[in-house]
């Protein structure tokens, strides 16, 4: 079995990270995989050595083509015994887009979480759909990573988030929950690691600072804005090792996103033993189901504000999940109290998170992919 894997793995994005991990999973499971890139931006990220080696292989004689692309980019090719699409979505439907038509031209669909399988069926996808969870190099969770020198964090419980500065990530809910729930004298701090495509780190920093100021102004808890706790914001690019150091410097990861296919930072936080608190949506409901973190309920509402994306996607005719702010505050308080009192439950959650992460190793996910490919004639 020889597989041609087409994806945007050279783009330096979270999507690219997922593609790299899928390719390395196939390789770890003994699948003869040949990666070929599609470029959607001009970034030139450093790639794993093994990816570069696999790229040198000839794509002649491939039996299967896996296209890990946005469905509107799909191109069915009859020379393969099977054409597979691997895609992600973060709303409750994509009926208004051309995705359903394009996906149904393929032989099989691979999606990232159980919720996405239901969304796809409800959106009219009628080809076989199989769930392939994200994979991870779980060895990084066993390695020691030097902690970052984070100002004003010594002896404090550090809440943090990592994600794009986009409407979907809903960072303002994290900022609001933190400053509402915790008094200025409590031993807690907050870190926001974010970036915005096409915007300089300085430009992104200005926008995040403005958001923080607007939230504090709207809360009206203290007489002046200086009375609130400091917001530590990082907008510079961080390499994988620096991200690992950030994880090991913090305690509790927050992701109040409206929708997630998987959320690699939340998964990695779980693997490092940093209890994630996330919206009960998408892939997070799959990898946190065994108790390695906290899922917070919300309600579905029409998508709003995603103006910098495809014209027929993320419209108000689709819904995403808005996290309940009071429940988010309570979850943050509960985890903080477990840490503060030394409750055994805190250590148990950390241990369960690390154990859960092990299930998503390259070999385990690669074996799932291999089992789905074994019946190709």
The pLDDT tens digits of the residues spanning 294-336 come to 999 999 999 998 877 767 778 899 999 999 999 999 999 999 9
Topology adopted by domain 2-135+361-373: Rossmann fold (3.40.50)
Q: Is residue 376 very low, low, confident or very high in pLDDT (cuts 50, 70, 90)?
A: confident
pLDDT at 96: 84
Q: Is the pLDDT of residue 223 over 90?
A: yes
- Name the segment(s) of the chain with CATH classification 3.40.50.2000: 2-135+361-373, 139-358
CATH code that applies to domain 139-358:
3.40.50.2000
Global pTM value? 0.94
Report CA Rg, the chain: 21
Q: Which of 31-45, 81-95, 260-274 has the lowest mean pLDDT?
A: 31-45
pLDDT at 60: 95
Round the average pLDDT of the chain to a whole number and report it: 94
Q: Which residue has the tokens 């997070």?
A: 284
């Amino acid at each position: 079995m020889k597989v041609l894997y087409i994806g945007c793995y050279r783009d330096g994005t979270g999507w690219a990270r997922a593609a790299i991990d899928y390719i390395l999973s196939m390789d770890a499971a003994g699948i003869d995989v040949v990666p070929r890139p599609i470029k959607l931006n001009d970034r030139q990220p450093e790639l794993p050595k093994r990816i570069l080696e696999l790229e040198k292989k000839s794509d002649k004689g491939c039996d299967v083509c896996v296209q890990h692309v946005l469905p509107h980019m799909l191109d069915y090719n009859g020379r393969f015994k099977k054409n597979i699409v691997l895609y992600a979505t973060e709303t409750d439907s994509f009926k208004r887009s051309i995705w359903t038509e394009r996906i149904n031209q393929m032989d099989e669909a691979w999606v990232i979480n159980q919720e996405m399988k239901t969304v796809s069926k409800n959106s009219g996808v009628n080809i076989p759909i199989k769930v392939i969870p994200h994979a991870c190099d779980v060895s990084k969770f066993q390695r020691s990573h030097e902690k970052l020198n984070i100002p004003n964090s010594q002896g404090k419980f550090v809440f943090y988030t990592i994600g794009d500065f986009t409407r979907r990530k809903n960072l303002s809910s994290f900022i609001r929950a933190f400053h509402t729930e915790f008094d200025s004298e409590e031993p807690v701090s907050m870190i926001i690691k974010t970036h915005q495509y096409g915007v300089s780190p300085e430009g992104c920093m200005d926008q995040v600072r403005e958001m923080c100021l607007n939230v504090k102004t709207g809360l009206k808890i203290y007489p002046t804005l200086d009375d609130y706790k400091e917001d530590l914001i990082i907008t510079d690019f961080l390499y994988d090792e620096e991200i690992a150091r950030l994880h090991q410097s913090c305690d509790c990861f927050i992701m109040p996103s409206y929708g997630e296919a998987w959320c690699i930072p939340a998964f990695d936080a779980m693997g490092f033993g940093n209890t994630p608190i996330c919206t009960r949506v998408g892939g997070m409901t799959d990898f946190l189901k065994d108790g390695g973190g906290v899922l917070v309920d919300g309600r579905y509402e029409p998508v709003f504000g995603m103006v910098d994306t495809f014209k027929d996607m993320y419209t108000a005719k689709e819904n995403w999940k808005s996290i309940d702010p009071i429940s988010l505050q309570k979850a943050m308080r509960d985890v903080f109290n477990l840490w503060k009192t030394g409750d055994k439950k805190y250590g148990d959650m950390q241990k369960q998170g690390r154990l859960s992460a092990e299930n998503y190793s390259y070999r385990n996910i690669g074996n799932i992919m291999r089992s789905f490919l074994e019946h190709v004639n």
